[in-house]
A = this chain, B = another copy of it.
Amino acid sequence: MSDPFVPRPEDKFSFGLWTVGNRGRDPFGEAVRDTLPPNDAVALLGEVGAWGVNLHDNDLVPIDATPSDRDRIVKEFIRACERHHIVVPMATVNLFFDPVFRDGAFTANDPRVRSYALQKTMRAMDLGAELGAKIFVLWGGREGSETDAARRPDEAVRRLRDAVNYLCEYSIDRKYGFRFALEAKPNEPRGDIYMATTGAYLGFIPTLAHPDMVGVNPEVAHEHMAGLNFLHAVAQAWEAGKLFHIDLNDQMPGRYDQDFRFGSANVKSAFWLVKFLEDVGYAGPRHFDAHAYRTEDYDGVKDFARGCMRTYLILRERGTRWNADRDIQALVAETAAERPTYSAQNRDRLLATNFDRGAIAKKGLAYERLDQLTMEVLLGVR
């Protein structure tokens, strides 16, 4: 019998070039792994069984590359992707690494930086379109502040809106067909980042000129950093039709951005997430935005990448088992209930109803048992 936890293309597992190519540099330490050229990264992803690769513009093309260098690099990259049967579902732009962005990109106080950020993003969109990507992620890693003296945060919102509107026009104009996925984060590398949560972006999108083109890209670690329940953010986005992409990794709450292997910090949260994505039929990429520990060489990077996918598949199987478990289903079965519709008659009937609070509150809801059965499914003892 074949291993049920081996990834297949239809699982749509993707990794950023920057994830398997992460060199282990951190605020207190030097890089520990040699540079992994993009084409080698694609080969590595092919080897471990991934389906897709995503990239920031500068993951592939150096920020100062000449147009001809750029074209050559892209051509070779496309060939590498073909050779290893890897697609490029999503592209994004790096608006955080270069010192020019130290005060933000679209929200920077210097109008030249804002303009440059737009230009750089348009070019990254050109690149993404050329590689076949249909999703364009915007993570405003530097859109924030260390002191709120620097700018009024409502002005930052306005600047951000102007930028996203502009980029939507550009996509329409060029017929790129991009769907933009906005990615929130509460802090790091800035003291605070504007649009701290997926919810904040869900509130921002309806204020745009082309709200239909724009959704969100929730990331496990970014919501966990603020101690928030990731599933709840994803479910709200899904229910609003805005789950355009997702970043899978793991993270302990209240810490620096850890970007751990999926499922390795809180496997129960990961379980609910996988179960949700599968139950609702989310059809987009399962993107792992994580990286290997700094203790690893490139064999360890492969272990890391394989582990992300394998854990996802184990949890998917556990979700299927949960759905099929009779004891569990007996506990979750709910009586169908009419949804409340307002009318004078319904209003009066409702106002006249006598509820027996004591009786309703008396019955135990058996959620302890339900949760314990969940743990036992998860741990593989049922």
Q: With the chains together, A306 CA to B323 CA distance in Å? A: 23
Say whether A365 contacts B264, CB under 8 Å: no
Q: With the chains together, A192 CA to B372 CA distance in Å? A: 18
Q: With the chains together, A265 CA to B355 CA distance in Å? A: 35
Say whether B231 contacts A148, CB under 8 Å: yes
Say whether A300 contacts B365, CB under 8 Å: yes
Whether A46 sits at the interface, judged by CB under 8 Å, is no
Q: Give the chain B neighbours of A351 by CB distance below 8 A.
A: 119, 122-123
Closest chain-B Cβ to A36's Cβ sits at a distance in Å of 14
Whether A60 sits at the interface, judged by CB under 8 Å, is no
**Quick check: which of A8-16, A84-92, A130-138, A163-171 contacts chain B, the rest being far away?**
A163-171
Q: Determine which of B109, B112, B149, B350 lies in contact with A355 in the assembled complex, contact meaning CB atoms within 8 Å.
A: B112
Q: With the chains together, A349 CA to B376 CA distance in Å? A: 55
Say whether B227 contacts A254, CB under 8 Å: yes
Q: With the chains together, A348 CA to B111 CA distance in Å? A: 18
Q: How many copies of the shown chain assemble into the complex?
A: 4
Q: Give the chain B neighbours of A43 by CB distance below 8 A.
A: none
Q: Give the chain B neighbours of A281 by CB distance below 8 A.
A: none
- Tell me the residues in window 166-221 of chain A with beta carbons closer than 8 Å to chain B beta carbons: 166, 169-170, 173, 186-189, 191-192, 194-207
Closest chain-B Cβ to A334's Cβ sits at a distance in Å of 6
A321-339, CB under 8 A of B: which get 1 and which 0?
0000000100010110111
Closest chain-B Cβ to A143's Cβ sits at a distance in Å of 11
Q: With the chains together, A314 CA to B373 CA distance in Å? A: 13
Say whether A334 contacts B109, CB under 8 Å: yes
Whether A240 sits at the interface, judged by CB under 8 Å, is yes
Provide 26 A-B residue pairs closer than 8 Å at the C-beta atoms, listed in order of the A residue: A28-B189, A30-B99, A32-B99, A98-B361, A109-B334, A110-B360, A112-B355, A123-B351, A146-B293, A149-B367, A150-B370, A154-B236, A157-B236, A170-B342, A189-B294, A199-B203, A202-B202, A202-B203, A202-B204, A227-B227, A227-B252, A227-B255, A254-B255, A295-B367, A296-B366, A300-B368
Closest chain-B Cβ to A240's Cβ sits at a distance in Å of 6
Whether A162 sits at the interface, judged by CB under 8 Å, is yes
Instruction: Count chain A residues whose beta carbon lies closer than 8 angstroms to a beta carbon of B.
Output: 157
Say whether B367 contacts A296, CB under 8 Å: yes
Closest to A364 in B: B297
Say whether A154 contacts B314, CB under 8 Å: no
Q: With the chains together, A141 CA to B294 CA distance in Å? A: 14
Q: Give the chain B neighbours of A226 by CB distance below 8 A.
A: 186, 226-228
Q: Give the chain B neighbours of A295 by CB distance below 8 A.
A: 102-103, 146, 150, 364-365, 367
